[in-house]
Amino acid sequence: MNSESPLLLLGIGTAGSSIAGGVSRAFGPGLRYALLDTDVVSSIPDAPFILLGGDRLSGRGAGGDVVAGRLAAEETIRNLDAHLEGVRLAVIVTALGGGTGGGATLETVKHLADRGIPAIVFATLPFTFEGEDRQRNARGVMTMIEDFASASFFIPLDKLVAETDSMEDALRRAVGTLASGITLFWRLVEKPGYIRLDTERLRHLLSGAGRGRFATVTVQGPGRAAEALDRLMRSELLATSCGPVRATLCGILAGNDLLLSEVGTIADGVRGAFGGLSFDLATVNDEATFSGRLSVVVMLFESNVRTETEPRTGGGVMSGRRRKSRTALNAGPSGRGRFKNVEPTIWNGEDLDTPTFVRKNLSLDI
């Protein structure tokens, strides 16, 4: 556990905690995280665990009741504060449909916002076979979460599994797929690369990004860049039919053998396939983890997004849908993250603090 990291992962509810545990196991030492649940079943050795609704629910869970989950969180979410020292950005993983993920996530995001900590939410939506009640329950909280989160990804569990999976395999595969996707995202932010995406840049980029789509692929062998691109373009999780794309974030992770031409192929391909007014690229070179393999993380956003600091009571964190005015995702003269109190560096009418490849609309193809 790295209690120094400015990036904190929170698993909420039983399935959310299980996915967060999977991310921690896959990432290895150095991941800063905590689990929150109304049910003691989610507590695991060596992971900080916050029991929500202690007196009210006695550690037995919210019984699928969103209101119970929400009240439990309201009463006990302040216990999270002991884990927030130095945190600049929280990533929440949860499963909507039950009581705790559904109820406590909203309270957690609000609590973080009041402390000036923006949250990115990854939330699964119930399988169709779980029935209309759970679907309705999940839909009901989605928009409320969006109102307070910086960016949110709602991932239908149906899209993470194969039709031929048995029920048990389906659950295992869904947890595994999401956990490995979030692990890649974590590596993108925590590991060094030639084009860096650190917590501050991510915080800046995703401020008010709103609802997004998220997918990852991992490939190896000859033609791996083209194959990664092909799989991303066919991914149901990124389906362009889901609405216009205004902003794209693309991360490429590989070992020391990552070629510039591969970066160009993927960056150009993703930009060409998904469009958007703004495009951000990050790379990670981590030979120990990716030797021979190449992974790509793509995030698409429907809002093009980042605003001046939104006046809010409490922390002043910008949220997904609550802003009045919006600006482009890439660094512009407003919403400049850690440079927000600094005069822009204008030269020949261009803002030099905006990355060159963005200002010039350059592709990285060679």
Ligand X SMILES: Nc1nc2c(ncn2[C@@H]2O[C@H](COP(=O)(O)OP(=O)(O)O)[C@@H](O)[C@H]2O)c(=O)[nH]1
Of 6-14, 75-83, 223-231, 289-297: span binding Mg ion (CB under 5 A) = 6-14
Query: What residue has token string 């992974």?
Result: 295
Say if CB 304 and CB 276 are below 8 A apart.
Answer: yes
Cα gap 113→317, rounded to integer Å: 6
Query: Would you tell me how many other CB atoms lie within 10 Å of the CB of residue 67?
Result: 11
Q: Is 11 in the site for ligand X (CB under 6 A)?
A: no
Q: Which of 6, 21, 98, 212 binds ligand X (CB under 6 A)?
A: 98
Say if CB 53 and CB 100 are below 8 A apart.
Answer: no
DSSP 3-state of 8: strand
Q: Which of residues 161-220 bind ligand X (CB under 6 A)?
A: 171, 174-175
Q: Which of 8, 10, 15, 249 binds ligand X (CB under 6 A)?
A: 15
Angle at 277 between CA 275 and CA 281, to 5 degrees: 75
Residues facing residue 351 across a β-bridge: 346
Among 241, 246, 248, which Cα is nearest to 215's? 248
DSSP 3-state of 189: helix
**Residue 59 CB, nearest distance to ligand X (Å)?**
12
Cα gap 178→155, rounded to integer Å: 9
Quick one: what does residue 101 bind among Mg ion, ligand X, none, with the CB cut-off 5 to 8 Å set by partner type? ligand X
Query: Would you tell me how many other CB atoms lie within 10 Å of the CB of residue 133?
Result: 11
Q: Is 6 or 61 the residue whose CB approaches Mg ion more closely?
A: 61
Q: Is 14 or 354 the residue whose CB approaches ligand X more closely?
A: 14
Q: Is 126 in the site for Mg ion (CB under 5 A)?
A: no
Of 99-107, 185-193, 209-217, 321-329: span binding ligand X (CB under 6 A) = 99-107
Q: Is 15 or 206 the residue whose CB approaches ligand X more closely?
A: 15
Q: Which of 32, 111, 134, 246 binds ligand X (CB under 6 A)?
A: 134
Q: Is 39 in the site for Mg ion (CB under 5 A)?
A: yes
Q: Which of residues 34-73 bind ligand X (CB under 6 A)?
A: 62
Q: Is 130 in the site for ligand X (CB under 6 A)?
A: yes
Q: Is 21 or 251 the residue whose CB approaches ligand X more closely?
A: 21
Q: Which of residues 14-33 bind Mg ion (CB under 5 A)?
A: 14
Strand boundaries in the chain, DSSP class E: 7-12, 33-37, 49-51, 89-95, 119-125, 151-156, 210-220, 247-254, 278-285, 293-301, 346-347, 350-351
Of 45-53, 92-100, 226-234, 289-297: span binding ligand X (CB under 6 A) = 92-100
Interface positions with ligand X (CB under 6 A): 13-15, 18, 62, 95, 97-101, 126-127, 130, 134, 157, 171, 174-175
Interface positions with Mg ion (CB under 5 A): 14, 39, 61
